[in-house]
Structure 1
Amino acid sequence: MLCTAVLFIAGSTPAEAGEPQAAEAAATSVRSGEATASGNAAAVEDSLQPQPLVSGRTTGEYIPQFYSRVVTGPLMNRSVCFVCRNGQRPVVMVLVRQLEPGLKPLLRNIDRLVDRNRTTGLRSFGVHLSNDPFRSISQVQTFSFTNRIQMPLTVSTDAVASESCQNLHPEAAVTVVLYQRRRVIERFAFRENELTFDRVREVIQAVKQFAADELQPAEADPAPAADSAPVAAQKPEPSSLTAAGGS
């Protein structure tokens, strides 16, 4: 009876004594439910995040040849197959659908790495893809001149993005392909506005590693393979070409 009396003195009845435990159990259940809901919400949020793009030919695949219209540099206004021209050399190829802000640091840093490794054969080129390449010439030239881009920039139709050519993802605003001996070593792809500072740094680090691991003394340019005719770009008439914006 003493224990019961003590409980009474504390202001509790036997029935009331069990209420704190029940309340605690209820609170624990609520917290557990909240944690589960939070976990489910996080899972839903993760599922809504865009997955990394896969764009460009897969590692080890052969790079198909294609022509594009050069709009900057000494070969300006000529239709050139840079895949053919660079032959077996190590190359950084940048395929662009949109001239994003992140392109400036990306291309300028690639320029620096190419300049440092030019004697060992590293080369680069960029291609702006659109349904109307003639209309994009001035835009690409202005971008190159304003940002002091050294790599040759070209324009071509979106036929270059086709599965039979470079196999680009439809959502890819920028695709970077590192290849040597015309075999893909590594590739990167970005949707619109995904080319952030951190992603640019990721690509540049990969190019540095590519330069350190893959570069070999440059070989002579081989003739285009007889069974692999380059994809011809739909180019403007020569008489209608004008240099706009400088290069």
Structure 2
Amino acid sequence: MVNIFTRKITDELTSLVKQMDVVVGKNKSDRMASFVVLLTDDPDEGEEQLAAFAKKHKIKNIPLTVFDGLAGPPAYKIAKDAEQTVLMWQRARVKANHAYTAGKLSDKEVKLVLNSTKKILP
């Protein structure tokens, strides 16, 4: 499972989600899954943003959802200064944790995140 938490929809996030959508699609037989959670104080606006995002970028394999509150779910302990946080887990154990402050999710980091999916695949 790949959880992508974000506080903002950016070009870098778009790149990551589009590429992760392809990876998930290619690994469905291994039961790979992912979802994106927009952390926001305005869930209604967030839902509209995500619906437009999914349609525009033709996201097919990754559900997009919102969480009411910028802090995110308390159990996930999302860093308050992270614009994006990517958690990968398998059998309830975190196998990778990537957190990025604003502007730090570069193309190089997107490749690193995508490469980390090997940690959760058989």
For structure 1, list consecutive stretches of 5 or more residues without a partner in the other structure. 1-90, 216-247
- Relative to structure 1, the CA distance from residue 199 to residue 159 in structure 2 (aligned partners, 3 Å threshold; closer, same or farther) is closer
Aligned to 1:210: 119
For structure 2, list consecutive stretches of 5 or more residues without a partner in the other structure. none
1:13-24 alignment, distance < 5 Å: none
Question: 1: distance between equivalents of 2:92 and 2:10?
Answer: 27
Give the drift of 1:131: 1.2
- How big is the alpha-carbon RMSD for the aligned residues of Structure 1 and Structure 2? 1.6
Aligned to 2:67: 156
Contact 2:5 2:85 in 1 (8 A): yes
Percent identity of equivalent pairs: 26
1:122-141 alignment, distance < 5 Å: 122-141=32-51
- Relative to structure 1, the CA distance from residue 159 to residue 191 in structure 2 (aligned partners, 3 Å threshold; closer, same or farther) is closer
Once superposed, which parts of structure 1, at least 4 consecutive aligned residues long, lie more than 6 Å away? none
Q: Is 1:121 paired with 2:31?
A: yes
Q: Is 1:187 paired with 2:97?
A: yes
- Relative to structure 1, the CA distance from residue 139 to residue 159 in structure 2 (aligned partners, 3 Å threshold; closer, same or farther) is closer
Question: 1: distance between equivalents of 2:70 and 2:79?
Answer: 12
Contact 1:160 1:166 in 2 (8 A): no
- Relative to structure 1, the CA distance from residue 148 to residue 206 in structure 2 (aligned partners, 3 Å threshold; closer, same or farther) is same
Q: Tell me the TM-score normalized by structure 1.
A: 0.46
Aligned to 1:51: none
Aligned to 1:168: 78
Which is greater in Rg? 1
Q: Which has the higher strand share?
A: 2
1:192-203 alignment, distance < 5 Å: 192-203=102-113
Give the drift of 1:158: 2.1
Q: Tell me the TM-score normalized by structure 2.
A: 0.90
Aligned to 1:92: 2
Question: 1: distance between equivalents of 2:29 and 2:38?
Answer: 27
**Deviations 1:193-216, CA, capped at 9 Å, x for gaps:** 111111111111111x225xx43x
Matching residue's letter, 1:191: T
